[in-house]
Amino acid sequence: MSRYFTRSFLPIFVFVYFLLQIILALNYNQPFSSDSLYNYNKALESFYAGSIYPASFHLYDDYIITPIYINYLLLLLHISTSFKIIIFGNIILNAIQLLIFILIIKKLWGEKFINSAVVSYILYLNFFGLVFFNLTELLFGVFLLLTIYFYLFKKNIFYILSGISAYLTLGIRPVGWSIIVALVITSIVFYKNKDILKGNIIVALSFCIMLTIAGFTINNSFGHFIFTSTNGGANLLIGANADAHGGFSSKVFENGNAGFIEDMDKRTYYEKNNYWSNAAITWIKENPIQWLLLIPQKFIHIFARDDFAFTEIIGGKEINLFFLSKHFYNYSELSTIFQGMTSYQKNIFWLFQILHHIYYFLLVVLIAFAIRDLFKNPLNVSFIFILGIITISIVIPLLTSGDARYKYPFILLGLIIATPGFNQIITNIFKIKLKK
């Protein structure tokens, strides 16, 4: 990459990136909806009750969701109950995530790759778009990257910190279990290396201690040992029922379907979870082939599109390609979807969709080739650890239901692995320009 780009353009690029987020945040007045609203309301309920989440009155909720994230929101609500405090918190989380991303790049690949890695991060528009949602991805990404960063030091104190961060990812999203499975994978691959085995044991012990502390802390106020989300049964049933199509659909919980529960309000979260888990397992046992045939469809739902967040910044709130394709399939038109949008706004929407998806599919190809190239060299524990997390983080939703959001760990960690390939592309572009 040219020195001019490094010294002049890149700092401006980063400054403008975060300045735009701040300007948009100051003028942003769209209320939260869907999962973002649900998370906000759960935090508000606990805030006004003067309790950590979950509080005693959450016993009859459908499930206990992302306890670490909701309690993080509680901390923000003590500063301000306005939803904007969450957005500004997201800007900080995005900056921290980028910083840790840079530190990992420096440690794995060296300083010369930092600039192209930063460009690859900023060009991925969903990191920007997530700032305007109240979702778990950014906080999850921070602790996921911290887990890996501490692991790279290969020293006892950092293994302990890695284990603490690993639990916090689990407390935010159940896909955090992928870290523990990755530790098992590295232990098997490097079973002869006592230092690696010792380090993995320290991470695992630290993880278990934090899990226990969190579980008993919640138990003291809630009366139940909770350390992560309890919506596993619901998620499993969404992807294991007669109407399942690989993606998210709440139809299974409607009256007359497998997930419908009489007197929902009188059932505790664990009764509902047990009911949904049993219904899903029963269906899988009775329809194993049909369930397996859903896996490719789930894979498509995860990877076929990548507009789960960035449309928020171009005026297309909750308008994504899946929503558009489903609407067109049912009604053979799209005009009603874009009602209220000017021709200019619609053109901007489609321009960003096209440019982002070109970049997204380029990243997927680069990540795939980067993974292949890693196996051409002697196995490295750091990369096997990262690959283990990537692999299991994709396997988990393939067992439940698919959604574009669920590949977040794949993209975030994939950018790290694909850095040399992306750097080569950027370098070649600058060489061509210099020749001209």
Number of domains in the chain: 1
Task: Give Cβ neighbours of residue 227 (< 8 Å, ≥ 6 apart).
Answer: 67, 167, 170, 171, 211, 214, 215, 218
**Which whole number is the average pLDDT over 233-256?**
94
Each residue of 60-117: pLDDT tens digit? Answer: 999 999 999 999 999 999 999 999 999 999 999 999 999 999 999 999 999 999 999 9
User: pLDDT tens digits for 11-42?
Assistant: 899 999 999 999 999 999 888 989 999 999 99
Name the pTM for this structure. 0.94
CB-based contacts of 9, cutoff 8 Å, min separation 6: none
Give kind and range of the element (H or E) at residue 13. helix 10-26
Q: What angle do CA 302, 307, 313 make, to 5 degrees?
A: 155
pLDDT tier at 137 (50, 70, 90 boundaries)? very high
3-state secondary structure of 8: helix
Q: Express each pLDDT in 250-304 by its tens digit.
A: 999 999 999 999 999 999 999 999 999 999 999 999 999 999 999 999 999 999 9
Cβ contacts of 377-384, under 8 Å, gap ≥ 24: 379/189, 379/190, 381/186, 381/189, 381/190, 381/193, 381/196, 382/108, 382/148, 382/151, 382/152, 383/108, 383/417, 384/182, 384/185, 384/186, 384/189, 384/190
Alpha-carbon span 167 to 228, nearest angstrom: 9
74: which residues sit within 8 A by CB, 6+ positions away?
Answer: 43, 46, 47, 52, 53
Nearest to 106 by CA among 140, 149, 77: 149
Domain around 394 = 3-435
CA distances from 145 to 44, 68, 162, 339, 409 (A): 28, 16, 10, 41, 10
Asked if residues 47 and 157 have their Cβ atoms less than 8 Å apart, the reply is: no
